[in-house]
Structure 1
Amino acid sequence: MAEQLNEKVALVTGAASGIGLATVKSLLEAGAKVVMADRDEAALGRLTTELGENAIPQVTDLLDPASCAAMVPEVLDKTGRIDILHCNAGTYIGGDLTETDPGTIDRMLNLNVNAVMKNVHAVIPHMSERGSGDIIVTCSVAGHFPVPWEPVYSGSKWAVTCFVQTMRRQLNKQGIRVGQVSPGPVISALLADWPEENLRKAKESGSLIEPEEVADAVMYMLTRPRNVTIRDMIVLPTNFDI
């Protein structure tokens, strides 16, 4: 029997576009109150006005250590609790390692890995005290397969896969479920950094999915009975060949 999300409070990072925004909309439709965390203040203002009073803006730059550390306490001040944390914010680097500069590598690892660990670290005391919670991380099929044309991105997502699987074991006895959704290529701004030839082939072959299809997977994970954890859901375009 599906669990209801009415009146639950969710915090979604990278919430102003793509998978994050699609998930926000699905959560709102399910009756949840959603804190939309993103660094784009203008987009948050516009979106929260459009989405209604249950969409709450949270301006956070996860690459800024102080802003990242302040996010969970600020959200708790606004809402009083966090039932769901969806660590969705991330970035992408494609191409050979030799084509990537060290600063870009740092930025990717800080956002895709370090910020996730920090956000989870920050929310654990609150969820543990309440004896309940859901933590979902947006990973990637690249976290399951060593994709040769994106070694930095794939490496960051392998790190996420390991982190999620270890944290699930640490937290499951405290009533906290931890899992990840691992999509294949999603039509979003991240694909702007894909090698042009790979992107062209993917579009021509129908090897891309919409953000809403990933949000559907997240909602399935969140609405399972509490005795069920979906540790990882891989969501692929049917024609994706990897």
Structure 2
Amino acid sequence: MKNRPFEGQVAAITGAASGIGRASAEALLAGGARVVLVDRDAAGLAAMQAEHGDAVIPLQLDLLDAAQCRTLVPQVLALAGRLDILHANAGLYIGGDLVDADTDAIDRMLQLNVAVVMKNVRDALPHMIERGSGDILVTSSLAAHYPTPWEPVYASSKWAIDCFVQTTRRQVFRHGLRVGSISPGPVLTGLIADWPADKLAQARASGSLIEPAEIGAVITFMLTRPRGVTIRDVVLMPSNFDL
């Protein structure tokens, strides 16, 4: 049990086919959980299922489609029978000067990074409250803690979601639920492909990027604390981040 702390539990992870979501899934699978992988990337979901077998339950959804988004929790419960851990991870990124940002892209990013997270968490709460236990994790960002000048739209979405995590946590802790966020610095995923080229090159050259597997290790740490302990937020960054 020590090496499989999530035995018998069901987790659902959004944006699970790649990047941080995939790293989270692999950490929870290694810990013995069954994991519902939520993503719109059917090929990525199929690859994860082929690699990990029956412990993986693929669920192809486009969370930007409101009708599909509403089905997330009901489908998880229909497929797996319960929900112990929700990792609201799916997100988009916009960097660069605000004046250059496409307004439709701003709408999509705010919808996925903020509204979809709120709706997914809201839909999971009744089931977890009824059971008197549950863990909710949200992927935030170091950008939620610092006014990053090269990503005002993205950083604003993470400041908003950081507030959501902290206020929701204070509403639901009395029901036996824990709510926390993980706030990594730049991670080696496709999400940072839109970084300014000079900033990305500088980060790569200085070793200022985090491997996704490091995020998975932190998620395992957060979820394996005694039930009376909530890790409210973990900020992690490359040691060379400030170079």
Band of TM-score, shorter chain: over 0.9
- SS in structure 2 at match of 1:227: coil
* 1:153-207 superposed Cα distances (whole Å, 9 cap, x missing partner): 0000000110000011001000000000000000000111000000000001110
**How far apart, in 1, do the equivalents of 2:174 and 2:5 lie?**
22
Partner of 1:9: 10
CA distance in 1, matches of 2:30, 2:151: 35
Report the equivalent of 1:232: 233
Tell me how far apart the structure 1 counterparts of residues 156 and 209 of structure 2 sit (CA, whole Å). Answer: 21
Distance 1:22 1:62 in 2: 20
Amino acid at match of 1:16: A
SS at match of 1:178: strand
Alignment correspondent of 1:136: 137
1: CA distance, partners of 2:27 / 2:6: 11
Distance 2:44 2:26 in 1: 15
Paired residue for 2:100?
A: 99
Q: What secondary structure does 2:71 align onto?
A: helix
Q: Distance in 1 between matches of 2:46 and 2:67?
A: 22
Amino acid at match of 1:138: T
SS at match of 2:58: strand
Q: Does 1:66 align with 2:74?
A: no
* Residue 4 of structure 1: how far off its partner (Å): 2.3
Amino acid in structure 1 at the alignment position of 2:219:
V
Quote the residue 1:187 is aligned against: 188
| Secondary structure at 2:13 match in 1 | strand
Give me the TM-score of the superposition, normalised by structure 1: 0.98
Q: Distance in 1 between matches of 2:153 and 2:229?
A: 33
Residues 3 and 225, structure 1, Cα contact 8 Å, conserved in 2: no
State the distance in 2 between where 1:147 and 1:227 align. Answer: 34
Mind listing any 5+ residue stretches in structure 1 that lack a counterpart?
none
Deviations 1:113-153 (A, max 9, x none): 01000000100000000000000000000001110110000
Q: Distance in 2 between matches of 1:130 and 1:3?
A: 22
**Aligned residue type for 1:91:** L
- Measured on the aligned residues, the alpha-carbon RMSD in Å equals 1.3
In the other structure, the counterpart of 2:86 is: 85
Corresponding residue number in structure 1 for 2:112: 111
Do the aligned residues in 1 keep the contact of 2:61 with 2:68 (CA within 8 Å)? yes
Per-residue deviation, residues 36-86 of structure 1 (Å, max 9, x unmatched): 000011221122121110010011111000110011101100111100000
| Alpha-carbon distance, 1:7 to partner | 1.2
Q: Is the 8 A contact 1:187 1:211 kept in 2?
A: yes
Letter aligned with residue 87 of structure 1 = A
* 1:206 corresponding residue in structure 2: 207
Q: Counterparts of 1:46 and 1:183 in 2: how far apart (Å)? A: 26
Amino acid at match of 1:168: R
Q: String of CA shifts for 1:74-104, please: whole Å, max 9, x gaps.
A: 1100111100000010010000110101100
Runs of 4+, deviation exceeding 3 Å: none
Matches of 1:12 and 1:221, distance apart in 2: 15
Distance 2:201 2:47 in 1: 32
Contact 1:2–1:225 under 8 Å retained in 2:
no
Structure 2: state its 5+ residue gaps: none
Aligned length: 242
- Tell me the equivalent position of 1:18: 19
AA partner of residue 44 (structure 2) = A
Distance 1:136 1:2, change over 3 A: farther
Task: Confirm or deny that 1:156 pairs with 2:151.
Answer: no
Equivalents in 2 of 1:203, 1:45: separation in Å?
31
